[in-house]
Amino acid sequence: MDIKLFESKRIRSEWSETEQKWYFSVQDVVAILTDSTDVKQYIKKMLSRDEQLKSNWGTTCTLVEMLAADGKKRKIQASDTKGLLRIIQSVPSTKAEPFKLWLAQVGSDRLDEIENPELAQARMRDIYRAKGYSEGWIDKRVRGIAVRDELTGEWKNHGVKEGIEYSILTAEISKATFGVTPSEHKNFKGLEKQNLRDHMSDLELIFSMLGEASTTEIIKAQNPIGLMENKKVAKRGGDIAGIARKELEQTTGKKVVNTGNYLGLKEKKKLK
């Protein structure tokens, strides 16, 4: 799943490789266009006003797995660009025209990124800069994403299923690296729906990369197949990072896992 920003507001999205197009969360789009506090009720009223849209709702929208409000992946109503343009016709909003232009740009950007992946990294860096992150932190975060992508690519090639099995292996690496699972790590930092890695310190990012990069190299060397074999490898990869973390903590007297987060980053940036 990807997150797109329109006027600094988040829109959940999913790129379909088979269809070569984006699917966007209908609820997120309607919420932005209307500023409604009850989006589901607004959509019901919208459909009652537009019988044609209501009759074609099953083809305008489809169920796509994305991150739900409770932090779990669920199938939610989503629509492609054509479907969203039809929905916009039934939403009286001054943001309609800017949103149409945004949709066109998102589609164009994706095609550009397929041809030149460096553009995707550049846009990602711009988003983090806008939020107020330091250049050094951004460098580590972007590198960490590349390390993670290589690891998941190896998992996919070695019989690990996306979704729950990726989560199980990630938790295994995290426990060995930090002594806590990702959910425990989030709780320690006071996070809820936020992406944990967007709130890691430089050292937390570095040790995350070490654990995942080590796991990737062991996979390449030992060729484990399936969840159970890869689970053992994930622990070994995490152990390598965990040993390094403990040695650093013993030397400095400071814990790597900390309560710090970047929840107030935007506000701090505004005050400068």
pLDDT at 200 over 70: yes
Q: Which residue has the higher pLDDT, 101 or 158?
A: 158
Supply the pLDDT for residue 179: 96
Instruction: Give φ, ψ of 50 to 5 degrees.
Output: -120, 90
Q: What is the pTM of this model?
A: 0.60
Contacts of 271 (CB under 8 A, 6+ apart): none
How much is the mean pLDDT over the chain?
87
Looking at residue 118, its pLDDT comes to 60
Q: Looking at residue 108, what is its pLDDT?
A: 55
SS3 state of residue 14 = strand
**Between 19 and 28, the higher pLDDT residue:** 28
- Residue 272 pLDDT level (bands cut at 50, 70, 90): very low
Calpha distance 239→179 (Å, rounded): 10
Q: State the Cα–Cα distance between residues 272 and 267, nearest whole angstrom.
A: 9
Q: Taking residues 10-37, what's their average pLDDT?
A: 85
Q: What is the number of alpha carbons within 13 Å of residue 8 lying toward its C-beta?
A: 5
pLDDT at 41 over 80: yes
CA distance 63 to 67: 12
Highest mean pLDDT among 6-20, 157-171, 179-193, 227-241: 227-241
Tell me the C-alpha distance between 167 and 178, whole Å.
Answer: 16
DSSP H helix total and E strand total for the chain: 13, 5
Pairing of strands 62-67, 9-16: unpaired
The CA distance from 197 to 186, in Å, is 9
User: Helices in 10-95 by DSSP H: which ranges?
Assistant: 26-34, 39-49, 51-55, 57-60, 81-88
Predicted pLDDT at 136: 95
pLDDT in tens, 213-246: 999 999 999 999 999 999 999 999 999 999 999 9
For the CA atoms of the chain, what is the radius of gyration? 21
Going by C-alpha positions, the residue among 52, 30, 29, 24 that lies closest to residue 43 is 30
